[in-house]
Structure 1
Amino acid sequence: MRHNETLFDFADWLTDPPSGGPIQMWLAGGLLSAVVTTYGTSCCIAQRATTLNITTRGFPSLGRGLWLEISGIHAVTFGSVITCIGLFIHFQWFWGNHKRMFPFHEFAKYGAALGVVVSIIAHAFTMIAHT
């Protein structure tokens, strides 16, 4: 299997309706999404975030430790990305497994995916322009 086929399989898995039942609905769509969304929202409100430091070169001012602390507008845009990811998880695995909400889960899921893309662009812009 080539590398790009794995990427397409992952994209298919994210776009297909969920095949799980109530356990997937409550664990992934309820609990996991609540944790992710709460962390993202708290980053936006407190304007502080702690994340893994994945920078290896190019940004020496960000530090070299395992954890990266960001604040201000950078934390708000980062929190926006995390919040939209949490919403995507909720719409995909909670609404997608709920029989009454199932007809609306596609629209909500793609709206959250659009929010992720816009938030990533905003975060990249603020990290480049304000660093």
Structure 2
Amino acid sequence: MYQHDWIYDLADRLSDGPDGGPITRRVVGVGAASVVCMYGLRCCLVQRATTINLSHRGQMSPMFWKQYIGTPAITFGVLLVCVGLFIHFRWYWGNHKRLQYYYEIPTAISIVCFIIAIAVHLWTVWRWT
């Protein structure tokens, strides 16, 4: 077994079709995607985002949460909208009878947008803080 076989396993898993049926389509493809997208839109409109502080290790405290205000919150909101769109295209379109033939293109576009959004978000966080 090679050292980096997990990369091939991950690529194989992501290239497979989505698992599930109509319940997964509704719960994950609509429910989870709308929750993530709504929080992302809220972050963009209010220009305030609360996330888990990954640099803080330990028990729950006020320092457990990280607050972004202004441009970093907007870029974080766009990042979350990209994640929500990926979830929607992957699990709703991928499990739909008529849309399953077209889900790969918008899923790939949402992944590219996510990569761009995370790069812009990291740049704004380093620049603004």
Q: Scaled by the length of structure 2, what TM-score is found? A: 0.87
The residue that corresponds to 1:40 in the other structure is 40
User: Residue type matched to 1:126 in 2?
Assistant: T
The residue that corresponds to 1:23 in the other structure is 23
Q: Shift in Å at residue 104 of structure 1?
A: 1.5
Of 64, 69, 72, which residue of structure 2 is paired with 1:71? 69
The residue that corresponds to 1:112 in the other structure is 110
In structure 2, what is the Cα distance between the partners aligned to 1:83 and 1:3? 34
User: Residue type matched to 2:126 in 1?
Assistant: I
Identity of aligned residues (%): 40
Distance 1:46 1:121, change over 3 A: same
Helix, strand or coil: the match of 2:54?
Answer: coil
The residue that corresponds to 1:61 in the other structure is none
RMSD of aligned Cα (Å): 2.0
The residue that corresponds to 1:60 in the other structure is none
Q: Scaled by the length of structure 1, what TM-score is found? A: 0.86
45-54 or 4-13, larger mean C-alpha shift: 4-13
Aligned length: 125
Helix, strand or coil: the match of 2:97?
Answer: coil
Structure 1 stretches (4+) deviating beyond 4 angstroms? none
Q: Which digits, 9 at most, give the CA deviation of each residue in 1:39-78, with x for residues without a partner? A: 111111110000000025xxxxxxx811001110000001
Structure 1: which 5+ runs fail to align?
Answer: 57-63
Helix, strand or coil: the match of 2:82?
Answer: helix
Structure 2: which 5+ runs fail to align?
Answer: 57-61
In structure 1, what is the Cα distance between the partners aligned to 2:2 and 2:74? 37
The residue that corresponds to 1:100 in the other structure is 98
In structure 2, what is the Cα distance between the partners aligned to 1:79 and 1:8? 31
Distance 1:3 1:48, change over 3 A: farther
The residue that corresponds to 1:86 in the other structure is 84
